Amino acid sequence: MTNQKITVVEFYTIIYNADRSFRRLNSIIQKYDYEIYQIQLSEFEKSFRILFNLEPFDEKKHKQNTCIFCNNKIGAKETCFITEEFYQTLVTHYTENNEFFRSGQVTFIKTKKAFQVDRNTIWFDKGIIDQDLKKLKRFADKLQSCLRFARYDSIECHFYFARILNEQNLIPLIDTKSFRLSNKVQPFVGQDTAMISALLNIDRKINGYTQFAIATFEESFRIQNLQIRFIHLMNCLEMCFNYANNDMPAQIVAKYSSLLISKNKQEFSSVYSELLNLFWLKKRILSGALINEQSFTDVEQLYDKTIFIEDLSRNVIKKLLYMNIKTKEELYNKLDQRRLPH
């Protein structure tokens, strides 16, 4: 019988564009057995440099290497030291716009408690690790989605991996990246805590069309072409309200979207009219009519309209999640009964 050798494992994902204020999320996510964990860039190199295909950090070997004074060389607010080798690796291969360097720290979501695993089987049955890593990924994806519904659009999770404690071993699972309209760090506002907590608690399997709309909304952040992203977000909105064999999708989607989010008749008329115009714009894009008409003004206006439809899709999906309605027929009946004030 093989003697068991128990080792302790933690699971991590790196969060990009998150500053210190995101530690406020711990009040929400710790009940799911995860926590926000932040370390200085110098400690990140010592503990995690093998994640970037570099040899483990050795105090004797690496302390003589050139150190980078981050707030002089790359603009971070605090002093931290990393080797020239690590600096060049991050800048050349792994970061966009020096994301790690803007604050001199790295932010993770990690498991709140470590797991005990049989060391003799960990390398032969990687499924033992993959199961918990994928569980972390599912949670991080849902949290990222909730943050986007709260307009923290630049938050991204990358590099899902397991760390074997007391050893220089990391087991990577997956590296995911998506396109961001902005790399700007958005400080987390405490008043958004209740919204994020509520969205995390909602069962997203309430109906197929809402699930599909959420997936489409999430996918839109991975699309770099502005015209395609606009069409994708319009499709997201259409999934929420349209139905098969409908000859007037623009009117149906515009009507029920406006009824759902408007506070009064004036806002309803404004949103309804704008959505009809956007469906006409979508038709022009799909027909190729805009391909040879691109001017700076066209691109600028399309960007503004894409942001508008993104915000509208975000608000519609949030309201649908809170309403917990199972079918579109039930949704239509409920909205048809709504009476807006003047």
Residue 47, CA distances (Å) to 27, 51, 56, 58, 328 in order: 26, 9, 8, 10, 51
pLDDT digits (tens, 9 = 90+) for 61-117: 776 455 554 544 444 445 667 888 888 887 776 555 456 666 678 899 999 888 777
Q: Is 9 helix (H, G, I), strand (E, B) or coil?
A: strand
Beta bridge partners of 162: 11, 171
Res 181: pLDDT: 47
- Please tell me the distance from the alpha carbon of residue 130 to that of residue 141, in angstroms, as a whole number: 16
- Please tell me the distance from the alpha carbon of residue 335 to that of residue 327, in angstroms, as a whole number: 13
Res 284: pLDDT: 86
Both tokens assigned to 57:
């950090």
Q: For the chain, count helices (H), then strands (E).
A: 13, 6
pLDDT digits (tens, 9 = 90+) for 133-191: 888 989 999 999 999 998 888 888 878 888 877 666 676 665 555 544 456 677 888 88
Q: Which of 150, 154, 155 minimizes the C-alpha distance to 199?
A: 150
Categorize the per-residue pLDDT at 296 as very low, low, confident or very high, splitting at 50, 70 and 90. Answer: very low
Res 210: pLDDT: 86
**Do you know the residue count of the chain?**
342
Residue 315 has pLDDT above 60, yes or no: yes
- 22-26, 34-38, 186-190, 197-201: the lowest-pLDDT one: 186-190
* Annotated domain spans of the chain: 6-174, 205-336
DSSP string, 23-49: GGGHHHHGGGTEEEEEEEHHHHHHHHG
> For residue 228, which phi and psi values (nearest 5 degrees)?
-65, -40
- Please tell me the distance from the alpha carbon of residue 20 to that of residue 282, in angstroms, as a whole number: 40
The long-range contacts involving 288-295, CB below 8 angstroms and separated by at least 24 positions, are: 290/227
Res 71: pLDDT: 46
User: What's the whole-model pTM score?
Assistant: 0.80
Instruction: Return the residue matching tokens 């009219």.
Output: 273
- For 258-262, what is the mean pLDDT? 95
Residue 257 has pLDDT above 90, yes or no: yes
- Please tell me the distance from the alpha carbon of residue 100 to that of residue 90, in angstroms, as a whole number: 8
DSSP string, 97-111: TTGGGTTSEEEEEEE
Amino acid at 233: L
Beta bridge partners of 106: 39
Helices (H), the chain: 26-29, 41-48, 59-62, 70-73, 84-89, 127-149, 193-201, 208-219, 226-241, 249-261, 265-287, 296-323, 328-336
Average pLDDT, the chain: 81
230 with 310: CB under 8 angstroms? Answer: no
- Please tell me the distance from the alpha carbon of residue 300 to that of residue 296, in angstroms, as a whole number: 6
